[in-house]
Chains A and B, each alone.
Chain A
Amino acid sequence: MEVGPRIIFKVMGENVTETVVFGWCISIVILIFAFCATRNMQRIPKGAQLVGELLVGFIYNMVKDAMGDISEKFTPYMGTLIVFLGFGSMLGLLDLRPITADLNCTAPLALVSFIMIHYNSIRARGFIGYNKHMASPYLWMWPLNLMSECMFPITLACRIFGNIFAGVIVMTLVYSGLATASHALGSFIPFFQIAFPLPLNFWFDMFEPILQAYIFTMLTMVYIYNGTTTDEE
């Protein structure tokens, strides 16, 4: 059983996989939607503008709830994360391979979050204050705190990758099992696949992606907030 992303074409010896191509497609679709929704805006929104306003309002509320008064400048990044990861993980609904079922997609995003957390932490506390916080409560805790900080992007990347990839494997097994069952009844059309996997599709292709994208964004927000507030002094 081949589970990795397929290679679509090669550019100068570099493999361009499904992950990259579908990532481009999602970006383009989101861009086109944002462009269409903001042409001739009405005071009373309807159609695409209404959907866009709901989504943007939801993201602004979510970031404001989690981060308080420093939320304004982080909201665009958080909105990008949750929309891209959410749609990227829901590609299973279109019978495509979700892009987050590839560690090469989730690890860079986790790395960006990691750099963002520590850049903002150093900027808010100063280099001395940052190191003082890393060495709290005792000096010998510094390497341990460093290790736990470095584990954060690894767990962040592995969490969404593991969840979505497990969903991909389960869905592949269920679909091939249903095809085998209907072939065993002597039919060439795999008719068992019609409505039986719908609850599983709902769980693995709609609920899990939304939950995991939300958790990815939420953990980034919580860590940035914890890194920038200096309430203990």
Chain B
Amino acid sequence: MTGFTGAELIAAFSSLGAGIAMVAMIGVGVGIGYNAGKTVESTARQPEAGGALMRLMLIGVALTETAGIFALVIAIMLLFANPLMP
């Protein structure tokens, strides 16, 4: 150890943790892409149902996004409202 204080170490590892937490966005991206792709497929098959499918897709996207938003909230907490910081 080359003379880091505890607070510096906590700040450094909290930043690392915030970055790692955002890895959850991979799954969210895959999920939303799959959702939108299926909606496009269904709309191409039955164009008159487009409006209703669009509404359903928005709700599905919102529900999928929740996991990513939790990761984002945790990252924001680690960066700006860290409970471990002295």
Annotate B67-80 by CB proximity to A: 1 below 8 A, 0 otherwise: 00110110010001
A211 partner residues in chain B, CB cutoff 8 A: 58
Taking chain A's interface residues, is the majority helix, strand, or loop, or is none over half, making it mixed? helix
B20 at the interface (CB under 8 A from A): no
Tell me how many residues of B have a C-beta within 8 Å of chain A. 12
Give the residue name and chain of the A residue nearest to B51 (CB): A65
Q: How far is the CA of A165 from the CA of B59 in the complex (A)?
A: 20
Check: A118 CB closer than 8 A to any chain B CB.
no
Known interface pairs A215-B58, A222-B59. Does A3 touch B69 (Cβ–Cβ under 8 Å)?
A: no
B42-86 interface code vs A (CB 8 A; 1 in, 0 out): 000000000000010011001001100110110010001000000
CA distance A163 to B72 in the complex (A): 9
* Residues in chain A near residue B70, CB distance under 8 A: 155, 158, 162
In the A-B complex, list the 4 residue pairs whose CB atoms are closest, starting with the nearest: A162-B69, A215-B62, A162-B72, A155-B66
Determine whether the beta carbon of B55 is less than 8 Å from that of A158. Answer: no
In the bound complex, residues from chain A placing their C-beta under 8 Å from that of B62 are 159, 215, 218-219
